[in-house]
């Protein structure tokens, strides 16, 4: 399992969650942040730091946001080669 960034993050891009991630597995674009499911170790450190409550374990993503599981994985595949890793608070 991995954590997933969901709909509440769209447009806000707070990075409080990024700072506490020991794996540096967050990536971002102009829309939102994404978590690399292959790098996330499910430690959960990011969850309480998210001010918009956008982070869930992939198995716990609400049905209305289920598409974000695949979206995170797909966007990371595009963003990773571009060096779009996010590691610090903005």
Question: What residues contact residue 78 under an 8 Å CB cut-off, 6+ apart?
Answer: none
pLDDT at 36: 97
Is pLDDT of 20 > 80? yes
Q: pLDDT band at residue 88, thresholds of 50, 70 and 90?
A: low
> Domains of the chain: which residue ranges?
3-82
Is pLDDT of 17 > 80? yes
Burial of 52 (C-beta count, 10 Å sphere; 0-12/13-18/19+)? middle
pLDDT digits (tens, 9 = 90+) for 57-87: 999 999 999 999 999 999 999 998 777 788 7
Q: What does pLDDT average to over the chain? A: 93
Instruction: Please compute Rg for the chain using Cα positions.
Output: 11
* Beta-carbon count within 10 A of 59 CB: 9
The correct CATH number of 3-82 out of 3.30.70.20, 3.20.20.150, 3.75.10.10, 3.40.640.10 is 3.30.70.20
Query: Strands 55-57 and 33-35: what pairing?
Result: unpaired
Tokens of 38: 């292959």
Is pLDDT of 26 > 70? yes
């Amino acid at each position: 399992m991995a954590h997933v960034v969901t709909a509440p993050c769209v447009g806000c891009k707070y990075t409080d969650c990024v700072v506490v991630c020991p794996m540096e597995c967050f990536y971002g674009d102009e829309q939102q942040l994404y978590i690399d499911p292959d790098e996330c170790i499910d430690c959960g450190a990011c969850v309480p730091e998210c001010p918009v409550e956008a982070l869930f374990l992939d198995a716990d993503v609400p049905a209305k946001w289920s598409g974000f599981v695949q979206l995170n994985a797909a966007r990371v595949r595009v963003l990773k080669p571009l060096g779009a890793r996010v590691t610090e608070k903005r």
